[in-house]
Amino acid sequence: MGFFYFLGKRKFYIQVLIAILLTIFLIWGVLQSLAWYTRHGDVYLVPDFSGKTVNELKQQHYDQYFTLNIIDSVYDKNHAPGSIVMQNPLPGSQVKQGRNIYFTVVSKRPEMVDMPNLKNLSLRQALVTLDEKGLPVANLNYVDYFARNAIIDQYVNGEPIEPGTQIPKGTYITLIVGRGNNPGQVPIPFIIGKKVRDAHEALHYASLNVGKEYFIDGDDTTHARVFKTEPGVLSNSLMNEGDSITIWYRSDENFDFKNYIKQLTNATTVDSTAIDSTTMDTIKVKRTPVKYDTLQ
């Protein structure tokens, strides 16, 4: 009986048809199961949860759509304790139902850190150490001392602070710095387009202080970037160590900093301190942290 004998049997074709139908049914079943398991097509846009608490989100039944997780906390006196300051995925992201949303919220109490011993360190070493501890610089007070840019003492709220003292993270530290036997002058770093914190750090690393700060587009510093300085960053002015620089900021949402910086750097002569009267009418002033000048 030859192989092709089965081709002439009706039963053979019925069995082949049944096998094909079963295969199609199984593939369809698998695809339907995957679509149900992965919620195919069931996509949601992640809202902006900034400023809200996780309890408020649960009251608004967001936990029916997302899995809400708090993974970190930071202290921020400008926001209410428990409020959300960061989220992942970001607002506007497309996710499926049940997706984990991770939050960083504002803690009720600031994190405490040990005050490091900065005495006899160089200014650069001290700034790096403070940054690692989350302690910003309030002011650099230069005094007569033989070692230039050596840290002589460290102050908080006008009082000396001993190494190892527990202080809240974010406390502003005043550094007493040596002027050296032959004090020199320093150029102003190019800080146009920098964010507030980055501008402060750049000035401190250049042995300069932050003076008055003006926020042209309002008090929200989130998008604020350096727009102008006095003296101007391109004025070729040399400053004494410890001098203060006045800064004007604009929001990067309302101003094209990329093109502005390009124009500045291509210009042969720039007066970056000039501000027209129309702009000055809209300026809002924000003072820098209190500077303690107890040692002069």
pLDDT at residue number 9: 66
Domain 43-106 -> CATH class: alpha beta
Ranges of CATH 3.30.10.20 domains, the chain = 43-106, 112-286
Whether the pLDDT of residue 287 is over 70: the answer is no
pLDDT at residue number 186: 95
Whether the pLDDT of residue 286 is over 90: the answer is no
Whether the pLDDT of residue 278 is over 50: the answer is no
Q: Model-level pTM?
A: 0.65
89 token code pair: 């995925």
State the amino acid at position 9 in one-letter form: K
Whether the pLDDT of residue 283 is over 60: the answer is no
> Could you report the per-residue pLDDT of 69-120, keeping only the tens digit for each?
999 888 887 788 999 999 999 999 999 888 999 999 998 888 899 999 999 9
Q: Average pLDDT, whole number, for the chain?
A: 85
Whether the pLDDT of residue 28 is over 70: the answer is yes
pLDDT at residue number 13: 72
Handedness of CA 233, 236, 237, 240 (dihedral sign): positive
Task: For residues 21-34, give the mean pLDDT.
Answer: 80
pLDDT at residue number 183: 85
> Could you report the per-residue pLDDT of 118-153, keeping only the tens digit for each?
999 999 999 999 999 999 999 999 999 999 999 999
200-232 CB burial, b ≥16 within 10 A, e <16 = bbbbbebbbbbbebbbbbeeebeebbbbbbbbb
Whether the pLDDT of residue 215 is over 90: the answer is yes
Q: What percent of the chain has pLDDT over 70?
A: 84
Q: Which helix (H) or strand (E) holds 132?
A: helix 123-133
**Helices 123-133/196-205 angle, 10° precision:** 150
Using CA atoms, how far residue 275 sits from 247, 248, 249, 256, in Å, is 12, 9, 12, 17
Q: If one looks up domain 112-286 in CATH, what number appears?
A: 3.30.10.20
Q: Which helix (H) or strand (E) holds 287?
A: none
Phi, psi of 123 (to 5 degrees): -55, -45
Whether the pLDDT of residue 291 is over 70: the answer is no
Whether the pLDDT of residue 61 is over 90: the answer is yes
pLDDT at residue number 41: 55
**Out of 115-124, 181-190, 204-213, least confident range:** 181-190
Whether the pLDDT of residue 247 is over 70: the answer is yes
Alpha-carbon radius of gyration of the chain? 31
pLDDT at residue number 26: 86
Task: For residues 176-198, give the mean pLDDT.
Answer: 94
Which of the four pLDDT bands, split at 50, 70 and 90, describes residue 33? confident
